[in-house]
Structure 1
Amino acid sequence: MPTLDEGHARAAMLSASNYSIGLHTWAVSTTRSWSKEVKDETRRKRRLENEVRRQMEKRQELQLLRHEQDSMVLQVERLLAALNNTVTAKTMSEGGVPSPEHTMSGAVCRLALESDTLRSENVELRQKTQLLSQNWSRLHQVLHNFAFFQELQLRSLSLHEASEWISCSERSESGWRVNFSNGEPSFHFHPFTRGEVDAAMACCDVDLAVYSPCAPAVGQMFGWTVYHAPVRRARDNSLVAHARFTTRVRCSLEDADSFMKTKDIRTLPLLIKPPNWSYHQRDSVNTQVLQELDVDTHVMVCNIPSHVHTRYIQLGRRLPGIKASGKRLVSFFLITADSSSNARSRAAEEQHDVQWITEAGTRLALTEVDETTIDVACDHWSSCENELHREQLFVFWAEFACKWTEMATRSTILKVGNKGSTYLHA
């Protein structure tokens, strides 16, 4: 009968075998993916070279045709000039009195010369028009590229960098108009005071205390322990979806914290998922930084486009601390925030094609275990329309956890770039 140590050894061998198989499968799939990318790039370069060669051949053919045209025009001009000289000489030899026949011949000659002159001027005007059209097309492309570069810069920056990039020339203490790049309805924003931000954070602490699940974990999912407990608000009996995901990651707290502070604004988690909305629409979401109260506190607006736009003002805050056990802790909050001034502004300017969300949030807590390991706890909560919407939100949050795990595992194995630079991503 096998002993307990033999059982442990067999389990360890089985675990190592499964890890080796998983690593081999990942390596094969990655190699295939890279091979496909290399082939696609080779085909793209070949198509580009063929296109360049065809354009050069067309350009040479066009130059040859223009040369032939110039030669023919020059020949016609010489013939017309010779004809005009002949008519003039013949008229002068006959006493300077042109006959009707000579007069008609001279008129035809003059018309031919004028026609040739007009034709030449027409060609010159056409060339100038084409040149102006080409210049305008280039200018339009430059302006388009500049606008795209501006949008790309805004969408590819961290919160702090985006705060510095956005112009503040039209902003004032009484508020300003917030516009969106794709023509979504604008709105008037009143800046938050420090007291309003602190009040929103205090409400978040209360909500987390209420939403924290008391029931045991509902299961495991891709290395995450999952808690899922819908809560009914006492004041209006409305349904609030809540889920917590916890896991342990081999990554230092410094690396994780450094990455989160420089995280691309486009990869921030969404606080709400509209019903029947899919994650492949993520690139159409517009997130703007409206205020930077300090390097760790930002006020943003997020617009999820649809026939009825889902929109919310969110507060982002990084909060470092130390637990009672002496372990270091860094929490990252994204919560919906509102103020009386902004609420009054929305009421005065009713927009039927915009739905404002005022209750949702995410907290990502990173707790140091040792120098190379951290515990991760991610809380999500949001108001929801019905049970189906609550289930869709849970799936949406589970996707967030899976993407997080995927990037963390990939970074651990490949060690690409700066240490820990891709451990946290969603």
Structure 2
Amino acid sequence: MLSASARGFDVTAESAWSDEIAKEKQKHLRSEHQQLEEQLKQLMTRKGAAASNCTKTHQPLTLRLHQFAVEIEALRKEKLELRKQLALHTSFHKVLLSTSTNQPDEGGSILPTNDAAPDWRVYFPGGEPSFHFYPFTRSDFDAVVDSCASELTYKYSATNRAGDFIGWNVYHAVVPSKLDSGSLVARARFTKRVQCSLPAAFEAMNHEEINSWPLIVMQMNWSGVSSSGASTVLLQQFDDNTFVLVHNVRSDFNLRYLCVVYRSRWTERDGKRAVTYAMVIADSEANKRSRLAEANDDEVKWVEEGGAHLTFIEAEDNSIDVVYEHWGSCEDTLHARYLFVQWANYALRWEQMVLSSKLLVE
């Protein structure tokens, strides 16, 4: 039988042991509570992420396409704006070059000379692919112009009379190219006597703008004889009547060519006064090498052969004999026929312009 003191010790020990167990349970419960809270936080985080992903995944397709289109349009506008700024910078740079150098001699280029700007990048107002241009010297220009007359004699000796077109005598032919034996060249000649004096015709031609001049060649699916869908950039100007241009004709691809232009040249044929106008496709080895380095054949096709030549010859009774000659590279005979129609419309347009000017003068 235990004494009272022994029984008191047992009670005290049992109480201490119970307190220790309670503390351990409380500690374990707190730890378990913290773990559950952490698991709950992780679960809520995963739930929020899943909800966000679900919202994005189930976002309407039309809305996503619209946002994509808006982004593309913004990038396109930014690209065009950068092109405009770059073109403006290039033009300003040319002005600085021309003003910082000595004044050119008579007959020199009004745009930067070869010494001032040996080459430069050319940009089109419509955003078509740019290209690098190496300018022509005046002797290069004159050589192209001087060779034009002899070329015309060869080119039209074999043309066949095709008939009449609103009073115009029409001749045309499709012949092998002189530059590439595997290519074809369409050639046409239109002649007519017009009741208009030579000075009146000359005055009418002086009012022609660069963008109104005919295109030498165009694609089969091009949309008409106007210059809509085509860009013209003035590259060089040697004097008031001599220029170097680049034409870019837009369709399913860009058809492009360099050409030299002289707006009027007075000559004499069989003792009669005559004035001629010409656009002739020209090229150089430097520009050919530059084009090969561009590597954009899918977007741009360069034409290396073609031209247009208009002559007014003074005749009796205050009239003129008009000879309009046009030639250019073509893909096949069907393309050549298409070009013949376009060129015939150019001939008719010359006549209408000259006669309208005559009526205004009278």
Report the TM-score when normalising by structure 2: 0.64
Displacement of 1:289:
1.2
Q: Which runs of 5+ in 1 are unaligned?
A: 1-143, 152-165, 420-426
Superposed CA deviations along residues 287-316 of structure 1, whole A, max 9, x for unmatched, are 121111122211011111223101111110
Q: Which of the numbers 112, 121, 128 marks the counterpart of 1:184?
A: 128
Instruction: Give a deviation string over 1:265-295, Cα, whole Å, max 9, x none.
Output: 1210110021221216622311121111122
Name the residue aligned to 2:5: none
Partner of 1:199: 143
Instruction: Give yes or no for contact 1:213–1:228 (8 Å, CA) kept in 2.
Output: no
Mapped to 1, the partners of 2:341 and 2:128 lie a distance apart of: 28
- 2:256 paired residue number: 311
1:84-135 deviation line (CA, Å, top 9, x unaligned):
xxxxxxxxxxxxxxxxxxxxxxxxxxxxxxxxxxxxxxxxxxxxxxxxxxxx
Query: CA separation in 1, counterparts of 2:117 and 2:353?
Result: 41
Which AA in structure 1 matches 2:118? Answer: S
The structure with more helix, counted as a fraction of residues: 1
> Contact 2:280 / 2:306 at 8 angstroms: preserved in 1?
yes
Supply the distance in 1 between the matched residues of 2:123 and 2:189 (Cα, whole angstroms): 34
Show the 5 A alignment for 1:160-175. Answer: 172-175=116-119
- Say if 2:212 and 2:227, in contact at 8 Å, map to a contact too: no
Equivalent position amino acid for 1:249 in 2? V
Letter in 2 for 1:357: V
CA contact (8 A) 1:225 1:247 kept: yes
Of the candidates 326, 329, 332, which is equivalent to residue 274 of structure 2? 329
User: Counterparts of 1:211 and 1:294 in 2: how far apart (Å)?
Assistant: 29
How much is the aligned-residue C-alpha RMSD, in angstroms?
2.8
The equivalent of 2:352 in structure 1 is: 406
| Mapped contact 1:213–1:227 kept (Cα < 8 A) | no
Gap change, CA 1:308 and 1:256, over 3 Å in 2: same
Task: Give the letter aligned to residue 131 of structure 2.
Answer: F
TM-aligned CA deviation for residue 209 of structure 1: 2.0
Matched, 1:379 2:325: yes
Partner residue in 1 for 2:156: 212
Residue 339 of structure 1, CA deviation = 1.0
Tell me the equivalent position of 1:248: 193
Amino acid in structure 2 at the alignment position of 1:220:
D
Bigger strand share: 2
Measured in 2, the distance between the counterparts of 1:239 and 1:280 equals: 22
Q: Which whole-Å CA distance do the structure 1 matches of 2:333 and 2:141 have between them?
A: 31
Correspondences of 1:210-289 after superposition (within 5 Å): 210-214=154-158, 217-233=161-177, 236=181, 238-279=183-224, 282-289=227-234
Q: Relative to 1, partners in 2 of residues 1:321 and 1:393: Cα closer, same or farther, differing over 3 Å? A: same
**Residues in 1 aligned to 2:336 and 2:245: alpha-carbon distance in whole angstroms:** 25
Q: CA offsets, 1:56-81, max 9 Å, x none?
A: xxxxxxxxxxxxxxxxxxxxxxxxxx
Task: Evaluate the alpha carbon distance shift between residue 343 and residue 369 of structure 1 in structure 2; reply closer, same or farther with a 3 A threshold.
Answer: same
Partner letter of residue 163 of structure 2? G
Q: Return the offset for 1:371.
A: 6.8
Name which one, 1 or 2, has greater alpha-carbon Rg: 2
Q: Counterpart of 2:305?
A: 359
Change (3 A) 1:258 1:371: farther
Paired residue type of 1:180: F
Q: Is the 8 A contact 2:310 2:325 kept in 1?
A: yes
Decide whether the 8 Å contact of 1:252 with 1:368 is kept in 2: yes
Paired letter, 2:236: Q
Greater displacement, 306-315 / 274-283: 274-283
Contact 1:333–1:362 (Cα < 8 Å) also in 2: yes
Deviation (angstroms), 1:192 = 0.4
Kept in 1, the 8 Å contact 2:204–2:354? The answer is no
Provide the TM-score with structure 1 as the length reference. 0.55
Partners of 2:185 and 2:281 lie apart in 1 by 14
Q: Distance in 1 between matches of 2:303 and 2:205?
A: 25
Give the deviation of 1:393 after TM superposition.
Answer: 0.6
Q: How does 1:150-165 map to 2 (within 5 A)?
A: none
Structure 2 residue identity aligned to 1:291:
Q
Cα distance 1:215–1:341, how it changes in 2: closer, same or farther (>3 A)?
closer
Could you tell me which runs of 5 or more consecutive residues in structure 2 were left unpaired when the two chains were aligned.
1-80, 89-109
1:290 aligns with 2:208: no
**Residues 357, 368 of structure 1: alpha-carbon distance in 2 compared, 3 angstrom cutoff:** same
User: Relative to 1, partners in 2 of residues 1:321 and 1:405: Cα closer, same or farther, differing over 3 Å?
Assistant: closer
SS of residue in 2 equivalent to 1:397: helix
User: How many angstroms apart in 2 are the aligned matches of 1:209 and 1:350?
Assistant: 37
- What SS does the corresponding residue of 1:198 show, helix, strand or coil? helix
Aligned residues: 254
Q: Which residue of 1 aligns with 2:339?
A: 393
Q: CA deviation at 1:197?
A: 1.2
The percent identity for this pair of structures is 39
